[in-house]
Homo-oligomer: A and B are copies of this chain.
Amino acid sequence: MSSEVKLTGVTFVTRDCSIARALDLIGEKWSLLAIREVFLGSFKFNEIQDNTGAPRDVLSDRLRKLVESGVMQRMPYQEHPQRFDYRLTPMGADLFGAITVLREWGDRHCGEPPRTFQHKCGAVVATKLVCRACDEEVTERNVRPIDSVTLGA
Contacts and interface: CB of A to CB of B under 8 A. Distances in A.
Interface of A: 1-3, 5, 7, 12, 14-25, 27-29, 32-33, 36-37, 39-41, 50-53, 55-56, 70, 91, 93-136, 138-140, 142-147, 149-153
A55 B50 CA distance: 34
Contact of A28 (B22, B29, B131, B139): B29
Contact of A127 (B19, B129, B150): B129
Contacts of A95: 105
B102 A19 contact: yes
Contact of A115 (B3, B18, B126): B18
A103 B18 contact: yes
A130 to B, nearest CB: 5
A94 B123 contact: no
Contacts of A23: 29, 32-33, 102
Contact of A14 (B51, B91, B143, B147): B51
B119 A134 contact: yes
A109 to B, nearest CB: 5
